[in-house]
Structure 1
Amino acid sequence: YLQERQHLGTGGGLRTFREDIESGGPDLFFVLHFDICCSFPLVDMLHHHIRAQAFVTVLGKRVFPDEAKTYGCLVADPDSSEVVHWAEKPTSFVSDLINCGVYLLNMDMLQDIVELGDALADQRQQAALRSATYPHLFHNIPDQLRLEQDFLLPMAGTQTLFVFETGDFWCQIKTPGMAVMCSELYMQRYRYVDPTLLASTGGKLSPRIEGNVVVHPSASVHPTAKLGPNVCVGAGVTIGRGVRVAHSIVLAGTTIRDHACVLFSILGWNAMVGEWVRVE
């Protein structure tokens, strides 16, 4: 696990940990933003990247036009999937194809990121010297190296940047509460891809299940409890008699005692919910 000592931006982080990324001699590497949920079609992206002979491939998705301008918008050639224009959060409509924050890059691109970072560092140093003498004429250059705005956006229209469109679900996690909605999206996918991952009502000794529910095999749930819809129960969780849980995530080691009610919540690791308590 690699951690920045200060906020460097996505490109800055790649530049700083270049040697670690190059370890083992990979030909390609993925960059995935942490604040998104999707099916992450990495294998399909890889095949598309190779077919297109791309330098960088971006995961893209079509959204409603009024929603698109809150993201990076991509204009792609319909035949080749080359990104010919990139507008970052435009004020007016540009395209309904947005950047999903998942990238596949050739290793050669890492060297280009390093060189761009070095050039910006030199500009920063020179700007600092000039601004000390003429503070009202020169502006500071940001310390961060942004992957999208500083590196990928200028590549649009150069026959090096391509997009792989996904028709599957995608959501940006902007608040902690959105994790519950994202959990529901994943469980909906389980319903179609592998329904065996979802819990089901299996008789008198099993709890009542409503809708999509995932229960870890090590969890203990009383048969009189009712779970769902949209509930994820982690490892080692204990759920007592008559408990009601809906639209919630219950993390590992949590205990929910008899007749408690948990709605629209995320219960942290090893939490304790007392008898007849309502959490909403």
Structure 2
Amino acid sequence: MKLIQITDLHLVTPGETLFGLDPLVRLTACLKDVEDHHGDADAIVVTGDLTHDGEIAAYEALAKAISGLTPPVHLMLGNHDRREAFRAAFGDAHFDAGFVQKSVDLDGSRLILLDTLKEGAVEGELCPARLGWLERQLAGAGENGALVFAHHPPFRLHMPALDRVRLGEAEEFARIANQAGNVRHILAGHVHRPVSGSWRGIPFNALRSTNQQTALVFEDRFVNSHEPPAYAVIFVDVDGVVVHFHDFLDETAGPKSGSQTSVDQSDSA
């Protein structure tokens, strides 16, 4: 199974900019790169902060941007999103019991897409209803296991400013995941950083936004940066989960279609 993870679009009203960047232009470039090189993906998962201020016009622009993609797209919400504005643009199809959450079974694996939005707050939340839903979805995944997508990471990054606004119910999440024993990987957004590791024995990754990034500052302060935007290409099979990060605006990142040159690189690795 091949998946694409995109996160933290921070779309604004079309024509406006954010931190001196045009989020819609960058998203359009991201989606074109995905379509050109990964149209065979089984799914695209967008892990939240679809918009910056929850404007309906921004959600409508997103709906238009993803309408022509070949792989199916699954949308999630982050702390910058607003459920009712999202509903106004996308309808009720993404909702389950009042939350934008769902499970997707693909190629023998289950993707669990959590709604960690706590309206009016930067940190994330899994209320008792959502924790119960997660527990049931993991039980249904069985021995094949599940990949859990969440905007807010439950794990610490040792970056105090980001750790203060992670998922509030991290311990409850860990209890459910460890009792189920079948969470293969956690894939998060929110932090605007390329990070990987393991937490409570579960591998995880987070990645950069398609717009602005968070600078690598190990102090209790937020610092924006203009590091390259990226998306992740994820391969899942019986042997494991492999995550690649791609800086899609970097012209030096690799050959483009139609301009590939064969080179013997046996001595370069």
Q: What interval of TM-score do these two structures reach, taking the shorter chain for normalisation? A: under 0.3
TM-score (normalised: structure 2):
0.24
**Structure number with larger C-alpha Rg:** 1
TM-score (normalised: structure 1):
0.23
Structure showing the higher helix proportion among its residues: 1
